[in-house]
């Protein structure tokens, strides 16, 4: 059963992304955008909220930062800014709501050795020092860190170097600098994965991060929307949707989209969510469904439900009882997804049996205009590869 951090966690930051701990908020973010930029005739600071992307993680750091800040003011979007900008944030009291937190570093576990040059300012203790300095200056907003596959994958220790204490202790120290954390691993488009690419890798990242970050910290799924390497594949809408849900079924408490694309000819783009119409439509639909289910997703995960398939493909499952926790809806919910493995990275269609804490009755399959019977404490249903069903009873 995945850990389920409480939304009350956010209450400690009066200027953070969810200061009231509202269970109807499921945070959806995009990585490193310029709100003053334009795609399809609309400034990004308006275009992203229009498809359900609430926050930007990072605001480009260069000599044009002031223009991005002006774009932020004009569009009234909300972002995490670089930790070096804490004084500018505190001075900008007229736009306090537009700054929801601080991005302390990106991939410090990897970039501390970049181009064969050691960067001691990326060591775990140095990152904690940087985060604590920001927290001391502005305790009203959380710190955010994104990590690399060195932290986020089961074999990350293999690539990690310049150990400060031990691999395990370094990972825990790194995550202590983050009030909210993520790790990027592009499981559908990685150029060196060949036939093992699949959505299961995104859930593995959340599982692995939990070991280092503990049960109470929000962890966000990190999913690409284009071509994140200069080699490899370009993610398609079905793959994107399967990846997002795989992180959620493994306990992600928010989503961060990576919209940058890099191509073999040296060109790139930074807003592939908006430049690929099929992706734009799918992201909007996925975001809308996540938001509609936010009170369910934010409710505690409970034991009492198991899942098995007729062909051995794993099935990831979450069980929520909103009535028990006095949430809106007063019902029991089960979310399930046929998962994948390295041997079956694209998952498989399966007939799935779910054991539920109700001996008989009927479950509504949410958003599918159908019901399924509950017989002898079981729901039996058909799933496609990486398909998600949501049951309410």
> So what's the pLDDT on residue 173?
98
Note the residue count of the chain. 393
What pLDDT does residue 197 have? 85
Residue 117: per-residue pLDDT: 86
Q: What's the pLDDT score for residue 325?
A: 57
Beta bridge partners, 183, equal 147
Question: Token digits for 234?
Answer: 């370009």
The predicted pLDDT at position 199 comes to: 96
CA distance 386 to 207: 18
pLDDT for residue 326: 54
* pLDDT attached to residue 107: 97
Gyration radius (Cα) of the chain, Å: 21
Q: How many CA atoms lie within 13 A of 119 on its CB side?
A: 14
Q: HEC profile for 29-70?
A: EEEEECCCCEECCEEHHHHHHHCCCCEEEEECCCCCHHHHHH
* Gap between the Cα atoms of 228 and 320, Å rounded: 35
* Secondary structure of residue 3 in the 3-state scheme: coil
Helix (H, G, I), strand (E, B) or coil at 225: coil
pLDDT at residue 357, rounded to an integer: 95
Q: Which residues of the chain have pLDDT under 70?
A: 194, 324-330
pLDDT at 79: 98
What's the predicted TM-score (pTM) here?
Answer: 0.96
Work out the number of other CB atoms within 10 angstroms of the CB of residue 110: 19
| pLDDT tens-digit readout, 17-38 | 999 999 999 999 999 999 999 9
Residue 276: per-residue pLDDT: 97
List, as one string, the DSSP characters of 122-137.
GSHHHHHHHHHHHHHH
With DSSP H G I counted as helix, E B as strand and the rest as coil, what are the percentages for the chain, rounded to 5?
A: 35, 25, 40
């Amino acid at each position: 059963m995945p850990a389920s951090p409480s939304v009350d966690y956010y209450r400690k930051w009066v200027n953070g992304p969810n200061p009231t701990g509202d269970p109807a908020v499921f945070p959806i973010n995009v990585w490193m955008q310029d709100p003053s930029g334009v795609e399809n005739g609309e400034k990004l600071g308006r275009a992203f909220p229009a498809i359900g992307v609430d926050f930007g993680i990072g605001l480009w750091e260069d000599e044009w930062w002031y223009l991005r800040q002006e774009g932020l003011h004009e569009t009234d979007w909300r972002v995490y800014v670089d930790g070096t900008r804490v004084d500018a944030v505190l001075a900008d009291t007229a736009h306090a709501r537009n700054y929801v937190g601080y991005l302390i570093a990106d991939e410090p576990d990897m970039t501390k050795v970049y181009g064969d040059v050691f960067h001691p300012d990326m060591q775990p203790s140095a990152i904690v020092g940087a985060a604590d300095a920001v927290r001391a200056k502005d305790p009203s907003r959380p710190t955010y860190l994104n990590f690399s596959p060195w932290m986020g994958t089961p074999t990350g220790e293999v690539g990690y170097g310049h150990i400060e204490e031990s691999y395990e202790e370094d990972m825990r120290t790194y995550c202590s600098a983050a009030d909210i954390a993520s790790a990027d691993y592009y499981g559908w488009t990685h150029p060196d994965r060949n036939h093992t690419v699949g959505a299961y890798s995104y859930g593995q990242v959340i599982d692995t991060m939990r070991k280092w970050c503990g049960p109470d910290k929000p962890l966000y799924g990190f999913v690409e929307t284009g071509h994140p390497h200069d080699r490899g594949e370009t993610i398609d809408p079905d793959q994107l949707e399967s990846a997002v849900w795989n992180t959620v079924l493994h306990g992600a408490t928010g989503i961060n989209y990576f919209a940058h694309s890099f191509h073999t000819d040296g060109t790139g783009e930074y807003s592939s969510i908006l430049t690929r119409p099929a992706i734009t439509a799918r992201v909007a639909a996925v975001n809308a469904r996540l938001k509609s289910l936010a009170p369910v997703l934010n409710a505690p995960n409970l034991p009492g439900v198991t899942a098995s398939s007729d062909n051995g493909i794993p099935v990831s499952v979450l069980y929520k009882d909103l009535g028990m926790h006095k949430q809106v809806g007063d019902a029991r919910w089960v979310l399930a997804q046929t998962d994948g493995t390295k041997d079956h990275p694209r998952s498989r269609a399966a007939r799935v049996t779910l054991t539920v804490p109700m001996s008989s009755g009927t479950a509504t399959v949410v958003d599918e205009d159908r019901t399924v019977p509950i017989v002898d404490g079981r729901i039996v249903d058909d799933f496609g590869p990486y398909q998600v069903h949501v049951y309410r009873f």
